[in-house]
Structure 1
Amino acid sequence: MPTRRIEGFDCHYRDAGAGPALVLIHGLGASQADWFTQWPVLTQHYRCIAPDLTGHGGSSPAAPYDLFAQARRLIALLDVLEVEQAHVLGHSMGGAVAQSMALLAPERLNSLTICNSTAGFRPTTPKKLLEALSRVALVGALGVQPLAGLIAYRLFPQADQAELRQTMRAHFSDGSRSVYLRSLFALGRWSIWHRLGEIQCPTLVVAAEHDYFPLAETRRLAAAIPDARLEVFAGSRHGTPMDRADAFNARVLDFLAGARQAAESLRVAPAIPA
């Protein structure tokens, strides 16, 4: 998989498939490898570009962790790859980076899919503060590996999800303590609730019934983005792209097809006489 030098730092990514570009942005502590249940399906219809965020996977840990800075680097990566416009899909922290891209360069996004994410990760409630502090304490004291097992179990607690648990534990275990903490602190400083009305591209918001983020918060997110669609996956947890892979892929493909059709209609619409 290739690596490009973006703004002085290495950006590692995976690039495969043909057709309109689709950027896939992973979550905290993960990497492009997390899209293993999407890759075989989505690459049949799209040119899929899956970058590793700062310090994750093969990307440089020395680059800035600020989410808007990461969004700018992904836009710069599209420039290097000569991609003028792209659909963007982000999961969890990747959803925050994706929303940041939509605000920084709205003309570059054909559509936006936000999966199991929110518009602000600041710990504004006692529950969120406890979650953040417990992660900082656990990773700070013991490193990423103990957290990897906990996260894998919380994502996939069912008896028939043992293989998914094993896969995700391996993915998270490869992470770095300092990268995880720096990413977590960057998330804690990011909030765009007041700017959601600026997102103008077709938007799909995916939520899970048992996600970390309550459905009321996700409904608030979808309601604040003009004409956004909300899709709730019953029984799913934070790993919806994996624990509901077939349904998730089908819903994303349906949404992207609609966004493409709408964009093509706009391009061929006759001019209105003055």
Structure 2
Amino acid sequence: MRVATFSIAGERRVGLVDAEGETIAPFDLSVEAAKGGILGLIERNGALPRTLSPLPLSSVELEAPIPHPRRNIFCVGKNYYEHAHEFARSGFDSSAAAGAIPKDPIIFSKVPESVVATHSKVLIDTKVSSAIDYEAELAVIIGKEGRGISKEDALDHVWGYTIVNDVTARDLQGKYSQWLIGKSQDTFCPMGPWAVTKDEFDLETAGIRCFVNGDMRQNSKISLLIFDIPTIISTLSQGLTLKPGDIIATGTPAGVGIGFNPPKYLKAGDVVRVEIDGIGALENRFSEWAQ
């Protein structure tokens, strides 16, 4: 099923999106339960509430599936072969000395406050960075708590999937040994447009694409990840308890802005669209921060 967090008449709700993407049927959740977005469903352990009469999707405002995650978003760097090479060549990769292809998953995070919805503005603060880049990514949403999870059991802990644009200030990423500052600027984690449950998403066949102003920049398959999703979940859970609602961005394919010569950085007015087969499209316009 496709589940969206949305607002209508100033109230946050959670609903079931129909197959054509034309209507949304609100779940019969209390206002309090809907505050966390789809967390209100995840925490019910599969016991779904009834749905109410459907509304036209065009009549509501979509929010990020989890508008404010409880913890930082876990992210995996350099997780497609061609992207690992383009990033190592870019001069911004503080891990390049260890080789272009990582031996183990590179994990970093983005703060919860960086999350925005599809069609929300992503803000460029030119006083802080002049090298803003896009990264199309599949995000995993954890549904069951676990620690020391084996690869064989990892997918049992997945609730579903959504789309993330891991927007990055490349100059800040290159300046600091850790990536958090360059990855966690305000509005730098567009997420959505909704989430799909794991039973409706095919990890083996799904394609991932990114367009900037209609120009395709990234085009790959989720199956081409260097470290697959079971490996990522197992790695993260060694000594760290994963909790329901945790979000893991799994890495981006080749074709990011720094992969071009000269780099193709984003500017105010640019529109970035990320598509993943079986989920949908996440689209955001970039705007200059109002000083």
Instruction: Say whether the fold is shared (TM-score over 0.5).
Output: no
Higher relative contact order (CA 8 A, sep 6+): 2
Q: By percentage of residues, which structure has more strand?
A: 2
Normalising by structure 1, what TM-score?
A: 0.31
Higher helix share: 1
TM-score by length of 2: 0.30
